[in-house]
Structure 1
Amino acid sequence: MYNTNDRYLGCCYLYPMGRRTQLTEELLKHDVDVSWWVTPTAYEEGYYTKLFRALGHWLAEELSFNEPYYSNRKIPAD
């Protein structure tokens, strides 16, 4: 992921459910396992949360995932 100035900010990953996180009965309702990271500088600038929000929009509007599972340890509050 790059910003509008072509500065590298981080990356996101989409995995089939059960590949990265052990599949449980509770996780069966999800259709994709999502994780992301940003560089330390990008984190300080708030891009961790910005990317989380952008991912939600992108997954729903562009890729048609209905129930993403965000597997990062830290999930931003809405």
Structure 2
Amino acid sequence: MNPFMVQDPKQKARRLARALISDMLVYHPEKRQQGIRNGTLPQLFKDEIEKSWLEYVEQVGKDMAETTSFWTEALNEILAGGGKVF
């Protein structure tokens, strides 16, 4: 089965979190490098994270967003490059 056609809400939420965070890297690669280098990722990406979080909650629902770790995992794995920053 095509993984993009899966209707499981948790898989969709995880995939959306990863897509939203990945978009931050596409648009702000230098900012990310600066944030990793200086240890300031949360501060530098504050506005982008807040905006994307609102989109995430709107798409997956407040309950799913707040009771799963998909968002934080995506921030750490993708934006922080595997570090435990968020």
On whether the aligned pair clears a TM of 0.5, the verdict is no
Give the TM-score category using the shorter length: 0.3 to 0.5
Structure with the bigger percentage of strand:
1
